Chain A
Amino acid sequence: MTEVASPQELSKEDLLDAYRTMRTIREFEERLHTEFATGEIPGFVHLYAGEEAIATGVISHLGADDYVASTHRGHGHAIAKGCDVKGMMKEIYGKAEGLCHGKGGSMHIADLDKGMLGANGIVGGGPPLVCGAGLSAKVRGTNQVAVSFTGDGGSNQGTTLESMNLASVWNLPVVFVIENNGYAEATSTNFSVKGIDIAKRADGFGIPGVTVDGHDFFAVHEAAGEAIRRAREGGGPSLIECKVNRYFGHFEGDAQTYRAENEVENLRCEKDCLDNFRRRVASAGLIDEGELDRIDEEVKQLINEAVEEAKAAPDPKADDLLTDVYVSY
């Protein structure tokens, strides 16, 4: 059975863990931004930088056997769920030692041993998966919880709305997290989410919906703690809309002509979740900034090693072409 801490109790170790996770995601993504430009990485990558507080704030409440279903922008969720960072980097480089033996790439990173049901190239693909995972937990009588992450674009998909209905009908231990970063690919939510707030949609299915600042780890952590506690105790599904921004384009190579001049620079100055976290834990006297600096250095070293090892790792062989592709029942 999953054992997790009370939602609101954050020890110094919890805070350091949260910072390390957020910093690892940031460093991973910033480095990929640089490396992708060299042309060595196959396929597409969609970077999560700017949104780290959400994955970290939500998944810090989950145990190893809880489930996460992610999006095409899934690196942050995978790191927060405990996937091996070096294995992830090798996967993104398409190497045989990658988490999915190089067959998944950025958009299909999965590690079922960690409860990571996978990044997902299908927009709105995660919510139906967590209905299945949630139903499984309910039927087996475990107290596992399944959390899906979906973007604002995905929130408009029928799959998401159907899943909210199904989860409510079956009272599943599921949390739908909507990462509203303001753009569905290049289309502003002002033009694509019409009339009704995303959080409000939960009302239509008889489940609670809340909106939180997705830049603020503490806000996300508190709301997610209550939603996950509620799901674990039989209270059924809920929806958390996190208002946030991404620092990079929809995909690497996106010219981002749809964004205002200096939009990202201003966001980095004013809303950065890591800066915000550092300032607040330091001013509260909970953590010395030197400890956070040491984490920064350790994470930088980890990501350097991950990139070097990924580049040096062997490619899959032609003989592996059909392995792990088909399932025999």
Chain B
Amino acid sequence: MAPGPVTVGVIANPASGRDIRRLVSGASVFDNAEKGSMIYRFVAGLRAAGVERALIMPAFSGVYESLERNLRSHRAIKESPALPHLEYLDMHVQHDAHDTIEAVNLMLEQRVGAIGVLGGDGTNRIVARHCDDVPLCALSTGTNNAFPEMREATVAGLATGLVATGRVGEQAVRQEKILRVGLDGDPRHDCALVDVAVSSERFVGSRALWKVGTISEIFVTFASPESLGLSSVAGLLEPISRQAPYGLHVRLAAPTVAESVLRVPFAPGLVIPVGVGEAERLEPGKAVRLETAAGSLALDGERELEVGPANEVEVRLDLKGPLTIDVGAAMREASFRGLLNGRAD
């Protein structure tokens, strides 16, 4: 069978970047019109790297309209960049996380070479659960964003295109770690790319986890002291790279009784004292059973599961998480090998 056109999927979450942290911290809303413009810039980068076709998840709330406006306004300009053939996925939009899941499944059926994800940690978590070994280019449009990077979409599109067309090698793709969350005998009930937190908050509520006093323990795959949110607690204790073959498990304590207290950048505009109890490295494959009183589990900063004492919950580090595109590495290789030299098409 002849190979089809080189195809890349694009998913933009219209709901990312507008949770309760706007009220309790200095976070601002991430504009959906900007997400539409980012898709335009991303696909322009894809085409410049040789991608022939892009499959786009339909998304309302201003994302789609912004993209269309960009396409119309640039079509008449001679100097406008060439674009890949753009197709919206034919799917019933439900305006929730099911849209992302269905879009990923349709993209896998169409054998995409990579998927660009515009969202926060939560969006990437959902894509990662379903994308098999298709590499992701994670672009930040969420709030805390430890997993996706703040990147100019044009450059991210170029790097993604270079990977999808096979013009750069394995060094441009990272194998990420992932935390598998088991529930009541199902070892892969859910997952997290950056962190899992155990909270005494009974209900998922407005999802975002922003009250540290409710958190008893956290698990992280990687941790940087430069990041924002839960993982920065671990980052200030023991920085752990994305490549390190272990994670960290930290038990928290009230700052008034804890031996060690850290001042943690927990959300935009919110630096708060966090008391630390014990911390130990999380070895891959080892399941850590949680003693769950009534409360909730937050995955990548968002409360997702309401659990009670009757539930059996465990967390396990898996080194074989999703593949992601290292934009910097891809572009360095492109520079070294002259992959972007020469006149435009």
Contact = CB atoms under 8 A, between A and B. Distances in A.
Interface of A: 8, 10, 189-190, 193-197, 199-200, 202-203, 208-212, 216, 218-219, 221-223, 226-227, 230, 238, 241, 243, 280, 283-286
Contact of A226 (B23, B61, B207): B23
A57 B117 CA distance: 33
A285 B62 CA distance: 41
Nearest to B214: A8
Interface stretch (B27-35, B180-188, B275-283): B27-35
Given A219-B204, A280-B203, A286-B202, 8 more contacts: A194-B62, A194-B65, A196-B32, A196-B62, A202-B29, A219-B207, A226-B20, A284-B308
8 tightest A-B CB contacts, nearest first: A218-B203, A222-B205, A208-B22, A226-B23, A222-B206, A211-B18, A218-B205, A219-B206
Contacts of B23: 208, 210, 223, 226-227, 230, 238
B15 interface: yes
A200 B35 CA distance: 13
B19 A197 contact: no
Interface string B73-91: 0000000000000000000
Q: Could you say which interface size class chain B belongs to?
A: 20 to 34
B20 A222 contact: yes
Contacts of A210: 18-20, 22-23, 29, 206
Interface in B286-336: 294, 306, 308
Interface string B165-205: 00000000000000000000000000000000000011111
B306 A197 contact: no
B110 to A, nearest CB: 25
Given A211-B18, A226-B24, A283-B306, A200 B207 contact: no
Interface in B27-84: 28-29, 31-33, 60-62, 65-66, 69
14 contacts: A189-B60, A196-B31, A197-B31, A197-B62, A200-B18, A203-B29, A210-B19, A216-B204, A218-B204, A222-B206, A227-B23, A283-B308, A284-B308, A285-B294
A221 B205 contact: yes
Contact of B202 (A238, A241, A284): A284
A226 B204 CA distance: 16
Contacts of B263: none
Contact of B18 (A195, A199, A226): A199
A280 B295 CA distance: 12
B209 to A, nearest CB: 11
Contacts of A286: 202
A195 B33 contact: yes
B151 interface: no
A280 B306 CA distance: 8
A197 B205 contact: no
A280 B132 CA distance: 32
A195 to B, nearest CB: 5
Contacts of A203: 28-29, 31
B95 interface: yes
Given A208-B23, A209-B18, A211-B19, A197 B32 contact: yes
Nearest to A277: B203
A284 B294 contact: yes
Contacts of A216: 204-205
